[in-house]
Amino acid sequence: MFARRRKTPPSAQPMGDEGSGADLSEAGPERERHRLLQIWRRSEQRVMRTWQAWLAATGEDQAERYRAYLGALAEEEAAAMAVQCAGRCEPTITSPADRLPGPG
């Protein structure tokens, strides 16, 4: 009686860019920063998944789940540092007033 609509196939976006709204014509440094942010976000999600798995673990595999959680934390920290370093390395735009020589 009622016909169900078929689901549309997923878009042909590259992996990792789903729902990001990023313009693929961005400049190189901006694209790299976006890539690093995506890596950081995925590592953050992995931390949450391993945390939940550790909480749900039984006595037999609790130690293994805890080690996985610590590994995920280390990866997330490294990803966060990469984003932080990329932010520091980007040239900052200064106003013309900042470029004026000081008194003396």
The string of pLDDT tens digits covering residues 15-60 is 445 455 545 555 777 888 899 999 999 999 999 999 999 999 998 8
Closest by CA to 73, choosing from 104, 99, 50, is 50
Distance CA 31, CA 36 (A): 9
Domain ranges in the chain? 28-89
Residue 13 reports pLDDT greater than 50: no
Hey, what are 26's tokens?
Answer: 């961005």
Instruction: Summarize pLDDT for 73-87 with one digit per residue, the tens.
Output: 999 999 999 998 887
Distance CA 45, CA 32 (A): 20
> What letter represents residue 8's amino acid?
T
> Considering the entire predicted model, what is its pTM?
0.58
Q: What pLDDT, on the 0 to 100 scale, is given for residue 30?
A: 83
Q: What pLDDT, on the 0 to 100 scale, is given for residue 70?
A: 96
